Amino acid sequence: MAEFSEISKKEIEEILNHYPTKQAALLPVLWVAQEQFGWISEGVMDLVAQTLDISPAHVYGVVTFYTMYYRKPVGRCHIQVCRTLPCALMGAESILEHLEKKLGIKEGETTPDGQFTLSTVECLASCGTAPMLRLNEEYRENLTPEKIDQLLAALK
């Protein structure tokens, strides 16, 4: 069974200080788990449930409700293209098409070498700098096909 590292255990201990119930720490503890394991497998859900004295079913329900907990491994570079109206008005569709062509994968897929995962996401509150994407934990804004080429070249 999966185990939390000493660093994760310390973080969880600290997190629990801030809530009157253990269950309230579920979202932050899932973040710690995803940081350590890269994604949330059923084994990790069991571990989180045990750590917080809540049922695995509850943890499963929560993990599947939120889009940011990964239920399968993702590439080292996770590219998330915003497709909601303000970005769509500024050409998000062609940005996505360009990325699909360049990476040779479709939205929702990962390259065979595990380098890139390409996703679409809903509004990331960056509408004034559309079209945009989120690369791992960073926003890339005011995109053009040329900027995408430069970005991919730097990441390969």
Partner 1 sequence: MDYVLTKNFNVPEAYRIDVYERTGGYQSLKRLFTMKPVDVIEEVKSSGLRGRGGAGFSAGLKWSFIPKDGKKNVYLCVNADESEPGTFKDRSLLELDPHRLVEGVIIAAYAIGAKTAYIYIRGEFDLPHTRIKAAVAEAYQKGYLGESILQSGFGLNLYVHRGAGAYICGEETGLIESLEGKRGYPRIKPPFPAIQGLFQSPTIVNNVETLSVLPYILMVGANAYRAIGTEKSTGTKLFSVSGPVQRPGVYEVPMGTPLRHFLQEQAGGMLPGKVLKAVIPGGSSMPVLNAQEVEEVNLDYESMASKGSMLGSGGVIVIPEDYCMVKALANLGRFYAHESCGQCSPCREGTGWAAKVLARLEAGKGEAGDIDLLLDIGRKMTGATICVLADSLAMPMASFIKKFRPEFEEHLTLKKCPKG
Residue 43 or 128: which CB sits closer to partner 1? 128
- Answer left, alpha or beta for residue 125, where phi above 0 means left and psi between -120 and 50 means alpha: left
With residue 99 as reference, give the H or E element that holds it: helix 92-103
Residue from 123, 149, 150, 155 in contact with partner 1 (CB under 8 A) = 123
Residues that bind partner 1 (rule: CB under 8 A) add up to a total of 42
CA distance readout (Å), 41 to 34, 137, 149, 150: 9, 21, 33, 34
Distance of alpha carbon 96 from alpha carbon 99, whole angstroms: 5
Contact segment (CB under 8 A) with partner 1 among 26-34, 97-105, 107-115, 146-154 equals 26-34
Q: Which of 2, 16, 28, 107 contacts partner 1 by CB under 8 A? A: 28
With binding defined as CB under 8 A, does residue 139 bind partner 1? yes
Residue pair 122/80 in contact (Cβ under 8 Å)? The answer is: no
Q: Which residues are near partner 1 by CB under 8 A? A: 18, 20-21, 23-28, 30-31, 52, 54, 58, 61-62, 65-69, 83-86, 88-90, 121-130, 134, 137-139
